[in-house]
Structure 1
């Protein structure tokens, strides 16, 4: 049995991050008799300069990537289809906004100390992409925190302060120094990197090969 350390660099605003994670999860389940994994999440802000009120998603895609409304719709449909294959439901109906995720990352850093980082990350993905929650609104963010059994009063105290801000900034800087410029990036045992929302078969093949290399060098 091989135990792997998997560090995931991602942003709650990134649909490919949850697609990639769900496919990783499926791959690990398929090879669980041979490989286990300890997973940690690390911050990456797709839109660090985004104002607190956020921006309409269509407007954002047009400004940042030059996508027309038709191209944006085509892109969303592809994400919906890939999400369905991975076992995650995306709902892009209605008014959607892109937000700055810094406060989400601060709460995720705190959740790690509570042993619930992955649970909170998945709850945030669900809230943003499936439930159309506005995670730049404090009460909706606290509702997500409370939904997995974390202390909402403690979370509010964090949001009302600068707690975990330095930790998040330092981690972001560390990831940039490692050359990570896109998400998701999956770092295996501090040595191997897998980028993008890969398929479960790709993850399975990569993790198996890494496990075999580790066994051969032992």
Structure 2
């Protein structure tokens, strides 16, 4: 049986991408196909014009959504949804809105090493570092530390991020997403079928079961 091909279009600034990851992980267990799935994480920068150093989150969100009160209301809705999915959002700790290019490049680094289990652990860890712990995932030092915490070589990760490696792949991924009509994240392709949004586990599980049946046919 061929592995079910899954593409996860994401951005680390998107809380629904983390919720979607949690729901998809639950779906893998529910569908019983975990070992038969090959996952590729596809970067989709929502805010490529964000300054490299990021911005003060309160200022940025107040300007984007009209007021800090509206931003806090939206955060509360996300936090409630996160609890259902098992994702802990501690927005009181999140002080900056980062540029996520460097974090995407870290995922490129991880995937190039062809160690899917380590990569699968690193992916949600970056979300948790930002949304739960309030760490600056736009910082090279922070990302190297997260990589080391998940058994990647810190020196190799640092050298990669200090180079220009991964930038072309990120740009190419966005161009491909545009051709496919991907306009928002999370968007997950399961065996070519497109699922948009942080859907409940049952939606992903049903798609995985269908893909397994096609693979076995």
TM-score of the superposed pair, with normalisation by structure 1: 0.89
Q: Deviations over 1:149-175 (max 9, x none)?
A: 111111111122111211221122112
Selected match of 2:127 from 125, 129, 137:
125
User: Partner of 1:22 in structure 2?
Assistant: 22
Q: How many residue pairs get matched?
A: 214
| RMSD of aligned residue pairs (Cα, Å) | 2.1
Kindly report which structure 2 residues correspond to 1:86-97, keeping only aligned pairs within 5 A, or say none. 86-97=85-96
Render the CA deviation track for 1:49-86: whole Å, top value 9, x for unaligned: 1002212223323333x342222111111111111111
Deviation at 1:91, TM superposition (A): 0.8
Q: Which residue of 2 aligns with 1:32?
A: 32
1:4-58 deviations in Å (ceiling 9; x for gaps): 2110000111110010111011111012069842211000111101002212223
| Runs of at least 5 residues in structure 1 that lack an aligned partner in the other structure | none
Please point out which of 148, 151, 154 is paired with 1:149: 151
Given that residues 61 and 71 in structure 2 are in contact (C-alpha distance below 8 angstroms), is that contact kept between their aligned partners in structure 1? yes
Question: Which of the pair is proportionally richer in helix?
Answer: 2
The match for 1:160 is 162
Which secondary structure does the structure 2 equivalent of 1:100 belong to?
coil
Partners in 2 of 1:215 and 1:144 — Cα distance? 36
2:83 aligned residue? 84
1:60-75 correspondence to structure 2 within 5 Å: 60-64=60-64, 66-75=65-74
- TM-score normalised to structure 2 length: 0.90
The separation in 2 between residues aligned to 1:87 and 1:207, in whole angstroms, is 21
Gaps in structure 2 of 5+ consecutive residues:
none
- Secondary structure in 1 aligned to 2:13? coil
- Provide the C-alpha distance between the structure 2 equivalents of 1:14 and 1:144, rounded to a whole number of angstroms: 19
Say whether the 8 Å CA contact 2:31–2:206 is kept in structure 1.
no
